Amino acid sequence: MKSKTNLIIAILIPLAVGSISAYISRAGMAAYKMAEQPPLSPPDIVFPIVWTTLYILMGISSYMIYTSGSSKSGNALKWYGAQLVLNFFWSIIFFRAMLFLAAFIWLLALIAAIGIMIYKFYNIRPAAAYLNIPYILWCIFAAYLNFGVYLLNK
């Protein structure tokens, strides 16, 4: 039972981070929707579906590292926490503050942190690393969108 509880907590942590960040950021959504969008911008409905899926995968992967028994898991989970913090603040910088260039630079730091986290996870449990490949790919796509919004609306 404890194992199942830990898995649920591991999944709820990134879901909570994303939900709280989205809640704080929602004030800027109306203004953002008025901004010119780059080509390939998906419809609004795509974002909550993708992010929910990514947060669940992140939670599962963190649980895999947490329960691995590896002496390296503490360091890997620190990188997991660091990227969660960067993830939390990106949408606030982008949507609420509408600082598109600052958000892009922040997103590059997030992508770097995700890359390091994936590397650390891979050295412990490759499957945990693979679960985060969609996340880094989505963030790279988000960087394209973010930079496009910056260029089109500066």
The residue ranges of every structural domain in the chain are 2-153
What 3-state DSSP class applies to 42? coil
Residues whose CB is less than 8 angstroms from the CB of residue 118 and which lie 6 or more positions away in sequence, other chains included = 129, 132, 133, 136
* pLDDT of 103: 98
Q: Over the chain, what is the mean pLDDT?
A: 96
Considering the entire predicted model, what is its pTM? Answer: 0.94
| One-letter amino acid for residue 2 of the chain | K
* pLDDT of 117: 98
Could you tell me the fold of the domain covering 2-153? Ferritin (1.20.1260)
